[in-house]
Structures are given as C-alpha cells and as structure tokens.
Structure 1
Amino acid sequence: MTNFQPTSSCDGAPQVSLREATTADTALIAAMHARSWASAYRGILPDDYLDHGLEAERAAHWDTHMKAIAACAGRVLVAEHGGEAVGFVCLLAPDATGSVLVDNLHALPGHKGLGTGTAMLAEAIRWARSRGARQLHLSVLEQNTAAIGFYESRGWLREAREADHMAGIDLFSLRYVYALD
C-alpha cells in the first residue's frame, strides 16, 4: 500500500496523510532532515555544523540510504499536510531480535503539534506488527528533551544510555523501545 488515510480533525478536515517515499523523494527527505536537525539540535550540536554543509551531508547520506531501503531493507514515508511535505519516518526491517528500528522520525519546525509525529508512529507500529516484529526501538540525543517527551508520552520506555559521536563532539544518546505485545 502506498498511500494512507489521513487523520482528521473534529470538523473532518484532513490533517496528516502519509505516502510511500520513492528514490525521487531523496532530495526532499535530505532537505527536511537537514532543516529538522538545524532546528532541533541547535544548542546541542555546534552551530557551524548545523549552518554549513549539513544539507550536502544529509543528501549524501540519503542517496545511499534510499538505495538500501529500495532493496527491501525497510521503508520511508513522507507526511503531508494539504499536499505539502512536512515530515518523514524511516523504518528498517526487523533485526535478528525482532525489533524494527525507527531510524528517523522528523516533523518540520512549524508543523509540530499537528499530529504528524503521532500519525507516523502509528503507521510504524502497524508496519512493524505486519512484519512480525516484537518491538520497535530508536535513539534520541539525551539533550533533545522535546523528542524525549514526545516518545515517553506515547508509551516508549528508556532502555539504555549510550555514548555517541556527532559533528565532531562526544555526547550521549538514549535508546527507547516500544513493545508490541
């Protein structure tokens, strides 16, 4: 299935729709990723990193990543509000332990709080279950309190604190899990 029913507000107006990303969406996804990081990681990662070269780095990353996804390693969905791309989620096929990695989940600045992330997580859970997964997992930077609050408010549990390295600095990521029992 390539398109998903949009969620609706109380008045029935569509809020969020999800569509399957294709390799033609690579540049769009890279740009959304860079824009999301530049906002969410301000004050966490160096400004120079966020302001210079991030788009090119994310473009190179997604060029490779989308090819792997296309080879059945998972799926990427683009979230839209009124036909405008406002976020994306990347899911990797269940690993040997039966866990699906939510590799990325981003709603663009200015589009948070509209149900975008919730809709993407709901589809991630549905997809993971359809693949026989036992759980989902993800990592979030320890200083990203907004993301932590989002996941915890939706039942995700912190499992571990892990050393990480991004943009030339050492920091910590938190591993969160969501059981599919």
Structure 2
Amino acid sequence: MPNSKLTSKQAVDGAKVSLRVATPADTALIASMHARNWAAAYRGILPDRYIDHELPGERAAHWIARMKEIEAGAGCVLIAEHEGDAVGFVCLVEPDETGSVLVDNLHALPGHRGLGTGTVMLNEAARWARARGARQLHLSVLEQNAAAIGFYESRGWKLDAREADHMAGIDLFSLRYVLALD
C-alpha cells in the first residue's frame, strides 16, 4: 500500500486533519497510539496491572500480526495527522458475507478528542466501505466506555447487540453498534 495522503478535511476546530494509508513501518506508531488511548479510556475498567505493565507489549504483538493481515489484503489502516503529527488511527476490515465493514479500531489520542479527528476518520471509513460495496459499518465498544458510546450514537450509530467479552483477564460486555450506509 502506498504511504499517501488520502484526503484532507476541515475538522471541527478549523484545523486540517489529513489521513494517510499506514504501512508496515507504522506498526510501532499504531501500537503506541492504541496503548496510550486504551490507558486513558480504560483506566478503572481494565485492571491497573494490565494497563501499567502488559498493555504496551500486548498491543505491539497484536499490531505486528494485524499489519501482516492488512498487508495481505484483509483491510486498511489509516493514520490521522494534524500539522504533521499522528493523532489517531482507524482500522477497517474488508466487508464480510453480509456486506458489513468492521471498524476494528478507531482512536483519537487524548488531547485530540472533540476536535473532529474521529469524525473525519468515520467519514473516510464510510467512503472506503461504500467503495467496496458495503451496506453498513459495525464495531464493538466496551459497555463502560460512555464517551465512545456517546460519540457513536451522536453520529447515528445504532445499538445492535450486547455480547460477552473477555479482556485483560476479566469478563465484561461489549456493545455492537451498526451504521447503515445509504
């Protein structure tokens, strides 16, 4: 995949957010952003020992494997940049048999939330999915992640299911949200 700019869009605060296709060279950056975001969002939800000691290495191993799948054609990872700095990313998985694209991860770094970065990434995710003939997007969000749930619901996503989940050695629940693509 080329390391090229895909789009540049106006963010809510007036700042330009650009998206580029991630390459294998971005694996450590993506893992770091993912771990930093989880540490901020999941403190008090996931065990502190996991967040403080296991999370960075676990996310690094996850993204090494995931980027191999992405490079083999499983989907696409886009990195959001503001003034040349990486401020978030979204991972999209090719449409499944029902015509739905999984938004496998969508993260705007702490300090860049509420500035339009997530909206730019979701808009590009919808465009990317439509270009592949998808009829909807879907994702999972931890039930306790009220900020993320509010973000998705305010953009028209609908609760589809509540599912048992297991993360960091604990049982919890994830909510499946869907967005129909018109």
Residues 1:80 and 1:10: Cα distance change in structure 2 (over 3 Å): closer
TM-score, normalising length: structure 2? 0.95
Alignment of 1:75-114 (within 5 A): 75-114=76-115
1:163–1:172: 8 Å Cα contact kept in structure 2?
Answer: yes
Q: Distance in 1 between matches of 2:102 and 2:120?
A: 17
- Offset of 1:10 from its aligned partner? 8.3
SS of alignment partner, residue 110 of structure 1: coil
The equivalent residue for 2:24 is: 23
Map of 1:71 onto structure 2: 72
What is the RMSD computed on CA atoms of the aligned residues? 1.4
Q: Indicate how the Cα distance of structure 1 residues 168 and 9 shifts in structure 2: closer, same or farther if over 3 A, else same.
A: closer
Matched, 1:3 2:10: no
Cα–Cα, structure 1 residues 133 and 52, in superposed 2: closer, same or farther, change >3 Å? same
Cα pair 2:7 2:20 within 8 Å, conserved: no
Give the 5 Å matches for 1:19-168: 19-168=20-169
Mapped to 2, the partners of 1:151 and 1:10 lie a distance apart of 16
Q: Which runs of 5+ in 2 are unaligned?
A: none
**Separation (CA, whole Å) in 2 of partners of 1:78 and 1:136:** 19
Structure 1 unmatched runs, 5+: none
Distance 1:10 1:90 in 2: 22
Report the Cα offset of residue 81 of structure 1: 0.7
Give the Cα separation in 2 of the matches to 1:41 and 1:74.
26
The separation in 2 between residues aligned to 1:15 and 1:27, in whole angstroms, is 24
Percent identity reads 74
